[in-house]
Amino acid sequence: MSIEDKSGSTGVVRGWGCTPTDESPPAAITSNDRSITKCWPNAFIKGWRRTALYAIIVVLMILVFLNIALTLWIIGTLRLSMKGIGPMKIVKDGIHLEGQAWILDNLVASSITSQMAQPITIRSHRNFTVLVHEPELLEQATFVIKRDGVEISGRTFEVRDAQGNSVFRASKDEVRVQANTMTVNGVGGLTVRNAVQAPHVRAPPGSDLVLESLTRRLDLQAPQSILFESRAGNIDIISHSDIKLNSVVGAIRINASNIIIGNLKEATIVNESPKNTWTKKVYQLCACATGKLFLAASDALCETQDEKVCR
């Protein structure tokens, strides 16, 4: 029996395949081909647009939930808040940071200060450079800390104390130390190649002051006067050769209660004096034409017959 005959006996209109229709199936289609045909559900066949819309809505809801979860994870990981990010808080004067900060490139700031009663530590695997530059000026000041040294470039370098007073100032023209004392510790002392200008040079308590020139001469110059003073000891001037005291305009004055000149040569007595022998312990100071001093008897002429005395 054909499909059309079966449908007529039952009163149901059946089409060929899975689609209801009044038309008769082709003669080539048999009952065996009908079992192979795949039939789709009615929900998909009747409302596939609605099903696609529902699928899109479900996918969008999944994406929204994923975005919310990812946002909450980022907020929890970075510790975002209304005041800042984690240990970094935005305050009125700038940024307040607690802990450590890693700067990968450049840091531009007007001031960097530490917390109250806390030290600040700046570390760098290579060089640490502080650069101060103004766009209108070609000159710039740099402060570079290397592994084996510190370099500072600029017009002047100045160090101030806690009160803001200048302690040390260095420039191309001069180096000025504005302190009560400048102490140099070490065996070598202070080496100066050209000149030193100082109002007062003194040694620490319990130490000697030595002014020494190893290969050349030592000059002390002043426009008014030079004072050598020892309040509790002696002043020794030792020279391998001559010691010369020259005064161009004034005089050389030696004021002391006792003036002792030792190791002076004694001239031979020209005329023997008949006086007592105790008078021979008193001499008179005589000078040669060359300027050398020698001793002569107190009652004799201030002359000598020995040429070696004035040589």
DSSP-assigned states of every residue in the chain: --HHHHHHHHT----STTS--SSPPPTT--HHHHHH-----HHHHH-HHHHHHHHHHHHHHHHHHHHHHHHHHHHHHHTB-SSEETTEEE-SSSEEE-S----SS----S---PPTT-------SS-EEEEEE-TT-S-EEEEEE-SS-EEEESSEEEEE-TTS-EEEEEESS-EEE-SS-----SSS----SS----S---PPTTS------SSS------SS------SSS------SS------SSS------S-----S--BPPPSS---S-GGGGG-EEEEE-TTS-EEEEETTS-S--S-TTT--
Residue 157 has pLDDT above 80, yes or no: yes
Question: Comparing C-alpha atoms, which of 14, 50, 56 is closest to residue 34?
Answer: 14
Which is more confidently placed, 55 or 308?
A: 55
Residue 34 has pLDDT above 60, yes or no: no
Residue 299 has pLDDT above 80, yes or no: no
- Highest mean pLDDT (candidates 31-45, 48-62, 183-197, 220-234): 48-62
pLDDT of residue 216: 78
Angle at 54 between CA 51 and CA 58, to 5 degrees: 140
Kindly provide the b/e burial profile for residues 60-74, where b requires at least 16 CB atoms within 10 angstroms of the residue's own CB. eeeeeeeeeeeeeee
* Out of 15-19, 136-140, 235-239, least confident range: 15-19
Which is more confidently placed, 38 or 36?
A: 38
Which percentage of the chain shows pLDDT scores above 90? 6
- Highest mean pLDDT (candidates 48-52, 71-75, 247-251): 71-75
Residue 10 has pLDDT above 80, yes or no: no
Give the pLDDT mean for 262-282: 62
Q: With 0.85 as the threshold, say if the pTM is over it.
A: no
Cα gap 17→36, rounded to integer Å: 9
pLDDT of residue 36: 43
Residue 70 has pLDDT above 90, yes or no: yes
Residue 33 has pLDDT above 50, yes or no: no
Give the pLDDT mean for 250-258: 83
Cα gap 279→273, rounded to integer Å: 10
Give me the count of residues in the chain. Answer: 311
pLDDT of residue 1: 45
